Amino acid sequence: MKVIEHLEKAKSKHKPLISFEVIPPKRGGDITQLFNVIGDVMKYEPPFIDVTSRAAEVEYRETPQGIQKKVIRKRPGTIGISVAIKNHFNIDTVPHILCLGFTREETEDALIELNYLGIENVLAIRGDDLGYHKPIPEYKSQNRFAYELIQQVNNMNNGRYLEDDLLDAKPTNFCIGVSGYPEKHFEAPNMKVEVDHVKQKISCGGDYVVTQMFYDNKVYFDFVKRCRDAGIEAPIIPGLKVLTAKSHLFNIPKNFYINIPEELSGEILEAKDEHVMEIGARWTAKQAEELLNNGAPSLHFYIMQSAKPINKMFGHLKM
């Protein structure tokens, strides 16, 4: 079932929809821990699970021959893991599809595989610049921006593939999720441009929006209002993540370009390390309740590699 269909179903039943996002195991690992994490959150009845993707990146390693560059993709397997989760838990999955690090031809192949395997949803994003700029042969091409990737998926939904001579090619039927940044993407000069980018992505075929994490609900409500004023009618799903360590107060703003409210950061800085997760769980539960009580269509939690923070959060959540 498509994400937008899950949203409509939840709306008709007046039952909050909860979804989660996980990351593939590290290269060479196995899926056991990931299955344990997902199994632990299945009690919250998520209708779908997002699976992130990561392009190759550059590492510089010191060797007897000097500093050497190594290109490696640390967390491969998004397609296979999405299918494994779908079959093991009988749940819909949303694999992330990236622009950076992949050619349009590779993207088409990946989408064809997903279509063969019965995956109906994708999240189309540009992806992070990890320092490796893959050489693109002259006879191939690359999507530079998310809207171009969304156009490619939408073209396939309409039976248009990269090769014009595929006369028997059947249209795909993907539901396309797109990203939104309530505190704006760090490359956007202002919120107007951020909202314009979201509108462009929806116009190119996006069906719904999932936001970057945030810790102040005001930025989400303001973002939604800006989007609605701009004519964007697609569902806008808030993304949330429980703070679990004092280091998050510095790493999360640095890596995701978001603000941590003074009230939250102050309480965490004064607390003992073992109490930080509890503080973060209470804060996220408060966020979740306010969001649902004020019209958020669902909640999307970035749990990544552990269910413990989300279980603590649900212990405080009243819904």
Please check the confidence at residue 64 and state whether its pLDDT lies above 90. no
Looking only at the bridges linking them, the beta strands covering 66-72 and 57-63 are antiparallel
Per-residue burial over 157-177, b = 16 or more CB atoms within 10 Å of its CB, e = otherwise: beeebbeeeeeeeeebebbbb
Helix, strand, coil percentages in the chain from 3-state DSSP, rounded to 5: 40, 20, 40
Stated pTM of the model: 0.92
Q: What is the pLDDT of residue 101?
A: 83
Amino acid at 104: R
Q: Which two tokens stand for residue 105?
A: 């031809």
Q: What is the pLDDT of residue 190?
A: 97
Q: What is the pLDDT of residue 68?
A: 66
Looking only at the bridges linking them, the beta strands covering 236-240 and 57-63 are unpaired
Who has greater pLDDT, 14 or 258? Answer: 258
Q: What is the pLDDT of residue 291?
A: 97
Nearest to 99 by CA among 135, 57, 150: 150
Domain regions of the chain by residue span: 3-244+275-316
Q: Which of 12-16, 20-24, 67-71, 208-212 has the lowest mean pLDDT?
A: 67-71
Residue written as token pair 């552990």: 306
Q: Which two tokens stand for residue 246?
A: 């004092």
Residue written as token pair 């079932």: 1
User: Chain-wide mean pLDDT for the chain?
Assistant: 91
CA distance 224 to 287: 16
Q: What is the pLDDT of residue 132?
A: 57
CA distance 201 to 178: 7
Q: What is the pLDDT of residue 66?
A: 64
> CATH number of 3-244+275-316: 3.30.70.141, 3.40.50.450, 3.20.20.220, 3.40.50.970?
3.20.20.220
Q: Running DSSP on this structure, what letter comes out for residue 169?
A: P
Q: What is the pLDDT of residue 27?
A: 86
Task: Determine contact, residues 172/222, Cβ cutoff 8 Å.
Answer: no
Task: Determine contact, residues 99/125, Cβ cutoff 8 Å.
Answer: yes
pLDDT range class, residue 59, cuts 50, 70, 90: low
Q: What is the pLDDT of residue 141?
A: 87
Q: Which two tokens stand for residue 242?
A: 């429980």
Q: State in Å, rounded, how far the first CA of the chain is from the last one.
A: 25
What proportion of the chain, given as a percentage, has pLDDT over 90? Answer: 78
The pLDDT tens digits of the residues spanning 253-295 come to 999 999 999 999 999 999 999 999 999 999 999 999 999 999 9
The pLDDT tens digits of the residues spanning 130-153 come to 555 667 777 788 899 999 999 999
Report the pLDDT averaged over residues 73-100.
Answer: 92
Q: Running DSSP on this structure, what letter comes out for residue 170?
A: P
Q: What is the pLDDT of residue 15?
A: 80
Q: What is the pLDDT of residue 168?
A: 74
Report the pLDDT averaged over residues 48-57.
Answer: 82
Coil, strand or helix at 269: helix
Q: What is the pLDDT of residue 167?
A: 63
Q: Which two tokens stand for residue 164?
A: 């014009």
Q: Which of 29-33, 67-71, 310-314 has the lowest mean pLDDT?
A: 67-71
CA distance 187 to 100: 15
Residues 6+ positions from 116 with CB-CB distance below 8 Å: none
Handedness of CA 3, 129, 215, 283 (dihedral sign): positive
DSSP H or E stretch at residue 111: helix 104-116
Task: Determine contact, residues 202/232, Cβ cutoff 8 Å.
Answer: yes
Q: Which of 79-88, 120-129, 237-246 has the lowest mean pLDDT?
A: 120-129
Give me the count of residues in the chain: 319
The pLDDT tens digits of the residues spanning 96-129 come to 999 988 999 999 999 999 999 999 999 999 987 6
What proportion of the chain, given as a percentage, has pLDDT over 70? Answer: 91
Q: What is the pLDDT of residue 165?
A: 65
Residues 6+ positions from 196 with CB-CB distance below 8 Å: 230
Q: How many CA atoms lie within 13 A of 133 on its CB side?
A: 1
- For helices 104-116 and 146-157, give the axis angle rounded to 10 degrees: 50
Q: What is the pLDDT of residue 236?
A: 98
Other Cβ atoms within 10 Å of 21 Cβ, number? 21
